[in-house]
Amino acid sequence: MPSVEGLPARRAALQMLDAVLRRGQTLEAGGESAARKLSPPDQALATAIAGETLRRLPDLDDLIDSATRQRLPDDSKPRMVLRLALAQKIGLGTPDHALVATALPLVDGGPRRLVHGVLGTLLRRGMPPSDAPRLPPEVEDRWRSAWGDEIVQAARRQIATRPKLDLSFAADADAASYGGISLAPRHVRLASASVIDLPGFGEGGWWVQDLAASLPARLISDDADDVLDLCAAPGGKTMQLAAAGHQVTSVDSSESRLARLRENLERTHLKAELVHADALGWQPKQQFDAILLDAPCSATGTFRRHPEVLYRARRQIIAEGAELQGKLLDRAARWLKTGGALVYSVCSLEAQEGEDVLSAFLKRHHEFTIDIPEPGELPAFVTPHQRGWVRILPGLIEEEGGLDGFFLARLVRTA
């Protein structure tokens, strides 16, 4: 059979979609096995196609259902192939002939005519505008009841928008010389660029870090000498803390992620003591002046770059994340000196992680109170909740490109 240009990338995209939707994997993990043998441009294309598909899945399914007499099962191959083809049309502007030529071989020996027919019908009809695609219904229901409909509408707009590239700097930076804007000290936001082509990559003066992810470390006071970064890898916050002059101990249970942290420290010429340990069993030798716990969570706040989180973060994953966060907070509480600060953060948009975990912790630990951020500690567009924590929701600074969803709170040990 003659080879079809672009087919290997589509085949890999199909496997990636399957890995996420049927096996609950991340896009990255799915891509590692599916796209390993592809050229870098084909790998990038496969990831882009699978990502666009996950950004728009409910809308794509409605289109498909509008053109079939019998509803195709959710995980059937024809539906998967049609989703990929339509996502390329809507999200990547792929020409119709290329869509059809690369979709049909994916269903060879199967319902080729069906796929051809549905695709032909939909392409002739034309695609509806899609700058605010719907999120999975259970996510929309959860976020609507936690944050309101405006936030759901903002999240729909954000998932279709390419996120900006945020850089964190070890020292003050001149945003104009990078062609970007600065929204906080030691921060530069760029429209987008290839990271290794940017000035200063080799010298290690900066690292990539969403602006929201840089907020928790900004709440650690300069006065704290010994700082524990608990759940530290791959190390964005360790680098911030080390660059600010703290003595940092970084603990993480993942060896491979700690290896990335070590590489990051080498590239940026920053120092921290690295500990490979499960924080639920580890015991430090001394107490700390401050602790940052950037806890494992459902990661739904990162949906702009990782749309698959919306499909992986089922109720049970969120509940398990919340339970682990409570346990990690209980451990960290014992390791803090009286008067010291404990910053708890999660890149989640679930109230069950964040607000609920914090409220339960404060009921168990009367020796802790919330310490509300002072004006100037965080960028002016961040307004703490009246109870003292910070919740970053979709829609915040949307005109400048928005932020990942996040929760953070600073607690002080009073006794």
Helix pair angle (77-87, 40-55), 10° resolution: 100
Q: Which of 115, 122, 293, 347 is catalytic?
A: 347
Task: Dihedral sign for Cα 150, 156, 161, 167, please.
Answer: positive
297 tagged catalytic: no
C-beta separation of 342 from 293 below 8 A:
yes
Shortest approach of ligand SAM to residue 186 CB, angstroms?
15
Interface size with ligand SAM, residues (CB under 6 A): 17
- Report if residue 279 touches ligand SAM, rule: CB under 6 A: yes
Would you list which residues are annotated within the binding site for S-adenosyl-L-methionine?
231-237, 252, 278, 294
**CB closer to ligand SAM, 91 vs 235:** 235
In the list 235, 284, 354, 402, the residue contacting ligand SAM (rule: CB under 6 A) is 235
* Pick 144 or 257: Cβ nearer ligand SAM: 257
Q: Does 68 bind ligand SAM (CB under 6 A)?
A: no
Return the residue of 5, 278, 330, 398 that touches ligand SAM, per CB under 6 A. Answer: 278
Regarding 318 and contact with ligand SAM (CB under 6 A), the answer is no
Place of tokens 């040990």: 413
Interaction of residue 231 with ligand SAM, rule CB under 6 A: yes
Closer by beta carbon to ligand SAM, 13 or else 333: 333
Site mask, ligand SAM, residues 238-257, x = CB under 6 A?
-------------xxxx--x
Q: Which is nearer to ligand SAM, 85 or 233 (CB)?
A: 233
Rounded-to-10 torsion of CA 281, 287, 290, 291: 0
Using the rule CB under 6 A, is 405 a contact of ligand SAM? no
The binding site for ligand SAM (CB under 6 A) comprises 231-237, 251-254, 257, 278-280, 294, 296
Positions annotated as catalytic residues are: 347
